[in-house]
């Protein structure tokens, strides 16, 4: 019984030693190439990832440049719109002044002129009568004073020709008032447009800030990736050394087991 136990144990030790030796050799001859393949795959994948980050960084740079150009354009548009609003604001007092001049002051002047012409007409009527009388009594030649239109009538015609002007000027003033109201509304709309453009510009600035943060993130990722790529060969070299040491140590242990088993069989 004891002999059978020793034989069985010896065979088990020899089998375990052989199996362990095969495993250790497999770990040495299969594990090392596998580690090298894994290293190459990781280096290749990290290289692809670095290229992707480079492409992302280039895209962010292009986007930032486009937004910068768009921001400059929007700034110019906002400046132009606000300048137009200011020009309209500056124009309104002039239009109002012209309306007052056309609708109030000039008609007042025309009416004052007509009153003056009325006084002049009365004076001219007297002068016409006196000159006509002098001409009729022979103090003057018959043709000396014989106008086709007497002076007072001529003055009346001038005054009558001025009659339509006040109404026309008042109508022009009314149209200027409407124009002023329209310009005031246009000015308000222009201000609203300028505010909208300013909001768009603010959105562009926010977008550029987001892009800048992404650019910083991509830069940090590339730095971390570069550090990882530099460390991978070192890590895999250490892993290969550790695997070789463990495989050799495990193989030695299996050889010891095999030797013990063989010794037990020889002692039978």
DSSP state of 2: H
Question: What's residue 14's pLDDT?
Answer: 67
Of 23-32, 56-65, 189-198, the poorest mean pLDDT is in: 23-32
> CA 116 → CA 81, 101, 120, 127, 157, distances in Å?
50, 20, 6, 16, 14
Total-model pTM: 0.56
Cβ pair 96, 180 in contact under 8 A:
yes
Residue 121 class from Cβ within 10 Å (0-12 exposed, 13-18 middle, 19+ buried)? buried
Angle value at C-alpha 193, between 188 and 198, nearest 5 degrees: 125
Average pLDDT over residues 130-149: 60
> Length of the chain in residues, anyone?
268
Percent of the chain with pLDDT over 90: 0
Q: Is the pLDDT of residue 181 over 80?
A: yes
128: three-class secondary structure by DSSP = helix
Q: How far apart are alpha carbons 256 and 46 in whole angstroms?
A: 44
Per the prediction, the chain carries an average pLDDT of 78
Question: What's residue 110's pLDDT?
Answer: 81
Place of tokens 């040495």: 28
Residue 137 pLDDT class (50, 70, 90 cuts): low
Compute CA 43 distance to the chain's CA centroid, rounded to the nearest angstrom: 39
Cβ pair 229, 44 in contact under 8 A:
no
Tokens of 132: 């006509």
Q: How far apart are alpha carbons 1 and 263 in whole angstroms?
A: 18
| Spatial CA neighbour of 194 closest among 42, 84, 102 | 84
Average pLDDT over residues 185-201: 82
Of 14-28, 68-82, 94-108, 164-178, the poorest mean pLDDT is in: 14-28
Q: Is the pLDDT of residue 245 over 70?
A: yes
Considering 52-56, 122-126, 192-196, 249-253, the range whose residues carry the highest mean pLDDT is 52-56
Average pLDDT over residues 188-197: 82
Question: What's residue 87's pLDDT?
Answer: 80
Compute CA 62 distance to the chain's CA centroid, rounded to the nearest angstrom: 13
Angle value at C-alpha 70, between 65 and 75, nearest 5 degrees: 125
What count of other Cβ atoms lies within 10 Å of the Cβ of residue 202? Answer: 12
What domains are defined for the chain? 2-266 (1.10.287.950)
Rg, Å, the chain Cα set: 56
Residue 99 class from Cβ within 10 Å (0-12 exposed, 13-18 middle, 19+ buried)? buried
DSSP state of 149: S
Question: What's residue 99's pLDDT?
Answer: 79
Residue 95 class from Cβ within 10 Å (0-12 exposed, 13-18 middle, 19+ buried)? middle
Q: How far apart are alpha carbons 102 and 95 in whole angstroms?
A: 10
Query: pLDDT tens-digit profile of 206-241?
Result: 888 888 898 899 899 989 888 988 888 888 888 888
Residue 6 pLDDT class (50, 70, 90 cuts): low
Question: What's residue 156's pLDDT?
Answer: 79
Residue 175 pLDDT class (50, 70, 90 cuts): confident
């Amino acid at each position: 019984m004891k002999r059978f136990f020793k034989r069985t144990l010896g065979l088990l030790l020899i089998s375990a030693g052989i199996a362990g030796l095969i495993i250790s050799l497999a770990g040495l001859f299969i594990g090392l190439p596998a580690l090298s393949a894994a290293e190459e795959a990781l280096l290749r994948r990290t290289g692809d990832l670095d290229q992707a980050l480079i492409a992302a960084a280039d895209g962010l740079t292009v986007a930032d440049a486009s937004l910068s150009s768009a921001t400059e354009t929007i700034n110019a548009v906002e400046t132009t719109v606000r300048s137009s609003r200011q020009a309209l604001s500056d124009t309104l007092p002039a239009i109002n002044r012209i309306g007052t001049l056309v609708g109030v002051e000039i008609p007042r002047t025309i009416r004052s002129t007509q009153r003056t012409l009325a006084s002049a007409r009365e004076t001219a009527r007297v002068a016409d009568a006196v000159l006509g009388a002098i001409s009729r009594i022979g103090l003057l030649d018959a043709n000396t004073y014989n106008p086709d239109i007497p002076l007072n009538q001529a003055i009346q015609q001038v005054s009558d020709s001025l009659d339509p002007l006040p109404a026309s000027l008042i109508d022009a003033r009314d149209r200027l008032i409407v124009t002023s109201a329209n310009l005031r509304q246009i000015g308000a709309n222009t201000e609203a447009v300028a505010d909208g453009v300013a909001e768009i510009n603010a959105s562009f600035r926010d977008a550029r800030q987001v892009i800048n943060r992404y650019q910083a993130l991509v830069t940090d990722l590339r730095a971390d990736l570069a550090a990882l790529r530099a460390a991978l060969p070192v890590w895999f070299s250490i892993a290969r050394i550790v695997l070789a040491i463990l495989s050799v140590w495990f193989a030695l242990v299996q050889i010891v087991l095999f030797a013990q088993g063989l010794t037990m069989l020889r002692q039978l």
